Amino acid sequence: MKSFDLSLYLVTDRSLALDRSLEYVVEEAVQGGISMVQLREKDCTTKEFYELAMRLKKVLEPYHVPLIINDRVDIALACDAEGVHIGQSDMPYAIARKLLGKEKIIGLSVENLQDAIDANAFDIDYIGISPVFNTATKTDTATALGLEGVHDITQISRHPAVGIGGIHPSNAGDIITAGAVGISVVSAIMSAVSPRDAASQLRSIIDKVRS
């Protein structure tokens, strides 16, 4: 049985890290309460991506926080990450599952109700509802789904869901109330003066809403 905690899920973006190392920001964030980390870095070579993944794995292992690799099944295999997160334009999930095996975590981005309905037939471990709100971080995404979208999708989905896109302390609780089991954040942590405090604040909000 795979065990993972989607409640507070950090998605990386080095370009938002205010010139701090990714390892530093991620470790601070984990100490503040991040339960899962996705390495998502688009502008790097395969070698850089691999080396970054190996370094993050080393940071995360002592905390037992799973490392998920965005898109690249080869990087996930190379560093024995806990899983991959795939979008609608990435490797078809069935191929990813075949290459990774049953024990690894596979998350899939869903951008509308139909994606979520389709995903019910898939052997995946969670869905990422993307984007909940408009965001400057990710520019290649579909129309913002809003809290109503989170509600509708989580109602029909058989998979646990995290919301991603434009999530901050002021709206984090609403995403959980709308039906998601967790929230994904990028800039709210990556660009925080104290990633630890930012994670800790979001952790409190989530724990409060869930209790």
With CB under 8 A as the contact rule, the residue among 5, 55, 63, 90 that binds its own copies is 90
- Answer for the pair 22, 54: CB distance below 8 angstroms, yes or no: no
The answer to whether 58 is a known catalytic residue is: no
Of 23 and 74, CB closest to its own copies: 74
* DSSP state, residue 14: G
Q: Which is nearer to its own copies, 128 or 182 (CB)?
A: 128
Cα 178 to the chain's mean position, in Å? 18
Asked if 89 interacts with its own copies (CB under 8 A), we say yes
- Find the shortest distance in angstroms from Cβ 72 to its own copies: 6
Residue 71 is a binding residue for its own copies (CB under 8 A): yes
Catalytic residue among 7, 14, 35, 40: 40
Number of H-type helices and E-type strands within the chain = 9, 8
**Rounded distance between C-alpha atoms, residue 138 and residue 27, angstroms:** 23
* Region of 187 on the Ramachandran plot (φ > 0 left; ψ -120 to 50 alpha; else beta): alpha
Quick check: 114 binds its own copies (CB under 8 A)?
Answer: no
State the residues that interact with its own copies by CB under 8 A.
Answer: 45-48, 50, 71-74, 77-78, 86, 88-92, 95, 99
